[in-house]
Structure formats: C-alpha cells, structure tokens
Structure 1
C-alpha cells in the first residue's frame, strides 16, 4: 500500500514526455499550486538531465503566475552549460503554454575544500513540541470562520515557539521550526534535495508577517511568494529532523524579505534560503 510520502513523491517526481520536456501534476488544493511543489518538480526535471555525479548546489527562481492544481504542468529544461565541475540548467514551468515559474539551477561535482559552519540556534529539540497540523486542525475546528482546515501532508513541522494567531500577536520576525518527511526516502541524495526544496517554501512568508497584526489566513491579506533562492551546502537526510531557522530583516513597498537556514540535529548548516514575498493589505 502506498504511503502518504509515496503519494507526495508521485507528484514531485515528473514524467519525461520528450527530449528535456517533462510533465507534472498536482494534489488537490483549494486555490493554487503550492510554490514548493513546482520548485521541487523543476529540480527533479533538471536533475534528470545531469550526470549522477553532480548534485544541485544552488537554485534561483521566480514565481510568475498562480498555478492551477487541476491542470498539468509542463517543464522545459534548457541545457545552459556543461563544464568540468559545474553544470547549469534553466527550467520553465508552463500551463496552457504560459509560463508560471522559471528557475536556474547549478550542479557541482563533489569537492573537498575549506570548511566553516555557523552555530545552530540553541533551541529545544523536536520531541515534545506540538506538530503544526494538529494545532491548525484545532484552530479550524474551533474557529471555522477564521481558519481553513489544514491539508494533510507527509511533512511534519514542529514550531519551537508558535505565534498566537488568534490574537494576531506582534513579535520579532524570527522563528525556528523542526521539519522532516514522514517515511523513508532511501539513500539517493537527489531525492532528499527534492523533498527539502518542497519544504523550503514553508515559513518564509509567515515570518515576514510576524511584526504586523496580520497572518496568511487574514481575509484582508493578498500574499504570495515572488521569488525563491535555495543553496545546498552539505549532505543531509530530509526524513530526519532538520531545524529551519528563519528571520525577516525588512518589509517595505508591499513586499517582505525573509531568509532561512536548515541545520541537521548534529549542528551542520546543510542548506540556506532567501525569498521575497508579496504582503499586500487589501484596501477594499
């Protein structure tokens, strides 16, 4: 019997339908395709055109239009460069022939070199922390006019100090969340990169709203991811707990900027993110 993680992977792993052309589908969603999904699918498409001795180390992407989860997504890969140690691919994701997402992804052979590592924040471990899904389910059941029921996903999120959404608590734009995929992803590091790419779009936009009396469920908020950058630094497992440490140093012009760091439980900084988000308060 397929597990929930198998079902998620069936959407994130795209189907090759032509030379450097791939097709992806989406799980049912009420409004639009989740940005982390189309980013992960684009990474899978690009990875399939690269030698197996090279892993992704950097992704720079733009969310161009909302995706319709009822329609297939076509991923077109352009082989931009194949060097001795680096490989670059561009990917455009389209629906009905119109681009909804594009990204450039760089791959690198394994090299030994100089190393240093920022210290992981000193926060409680994941054990004993309430999972996000359980908290949102409680809020949606008790306050159905304010919160939508959460989508069930095989991704576990355990916030260290969750924000009080009932009172639109204003606080410093910083948060720490433990993440992991629920299940066994096997030994292929490319699969772990795809899952972390999916995870990496959670939390960034919410962090930009923390110093304001708003959150993503507010009816007067128009919010969306605008662009996304992701860097892979060191080997990791996405089916083991990773600490996602996030902060937002600035918000201006209807946009918020956030950045994040993924740490393994033994303190290694394994990946970094940055994102600009639309955080527009509706006037009507």
Structure 2
C-alpha cells in the first residue's frame, strides 16, 4: 500500500511524471488496456487480419491482442486488409460452400431408400394383395430396426398391421364362433387370467387413433352400465312407493323438507 497525495494505491503500480498510478496488465477495458511492448508473431498477425477482415474493429482487436490500434491500422494499410475488397470474395466463398453442401446432400445416399427392395414386375400385382403388402412392410420394418432407424421402423410396423387387418377383412375371419374350439371359447367367456380385459384395455391418455373394435366394445360397456343404473333407480323408486302405500301415505307426495 502506498500513500501519495492522500490517495491509496494497492497492488502493482507504475511511475509517471504526474506520480504513481495503478497498472492493469490484463484488463479488457479499452481506456485502460496497455499495448504490449513486444512484437507479435506472424501467426498472431494472420489471426488479427482475418478477424479484421470479418468485421472486427481495430479497438476491439487492440484490447484482445494487447496492441495499439495504430499498429493494426498500419498493418491493415501495408497488407491491404480492406473489408470492402474482401466482402465480395467472402460472399462468393460462402455461396460456393453452401452450393457444395447442397451437391453433397443430393449425392449422399438416403438411408431410408434401402428399406425397400428395388421395384420389380410383381409390384403391380402386389397392389391388390394386402397380405403381400403387409409382409413387405414388415420386412422393411426389420431392415429399419437393423439400421437403427427406430422411428421409421415403428411407422412401417403400423403400416404392416393396417395391411394385415385389411387382408383379414377381405378374406373373411379365419376363426368364427362356430368353428373355434370350446376350450378357447370358454377361456374367452370366463376372461381367464384377465387376458381378454387386457386385450380390450385402452389408455385414456393416448392421443392416437382408436381401433374401431375397441370403440364399439367400450360404447357397448358404457350403455350396459347406464342401463343397469337406470334399472336400479326404478327398483328403488318402486320400493319407496310400496313402503309409502303400506303406511297409508301418498307415494307421489313430495317428501317433507324438500
């Protein structure tokens, strides 16, 4: 600590004609940054040149590199670091780089293109066969899983399932109530192990489309429950009327206090 003219100076200081003042060797403020007293390397000046040509000001670079702004102006004048001259060249280089990326994207093979086989003569005949389309979609889903394209694999699996349902509707059900074996029918009726209820379970938070069969099932269950509630209400109302008549009261009269 040094006292001079009632001023207290802490840390490092420098001597000038007016006295002692504090020296900030690594400050980022322009008004306090002191230039270095050594020559920068050619590599450093190359970085300064690129930054200056890309829009940085001499004062900003002076603070960053600890040189005086006049040194940067002098090097810019000697080396021809004109921002106007380099602007068109930089713009052309940027446009060429973007065009090169677009050409690379066009020539780069699409990872989803290999999920399906090459088009063949059987494609036209396959259009009328949902079962064949289901098999092809499932095979493509397997290839997508191997390629770690999980989103595409899930979409293809759903597509295969949709084609499978279409094939079942077109060809008719393979098993009917009349042809199904009694043991399987018994398990279905008795809901053995809760597997039937699990098959018809619906997640209320799932925003996806509902299967029409599940919609019909739960609509029927809701109608049955409402009919049962209505039947209970009628039984209770009839019992109340019978109790009123037994004690000589009018069953249709309003209850006291209501």
TM-score tier by shorter-chain length is under 0.3
Structure showing greater relative contact order (alpha-carbon pairs closer than 8 Å, 6 or more residues apart): 1
Whose radius of gyration is greater, 1 or 2?
2
TM score, norm. by length of structure 2: 0.18
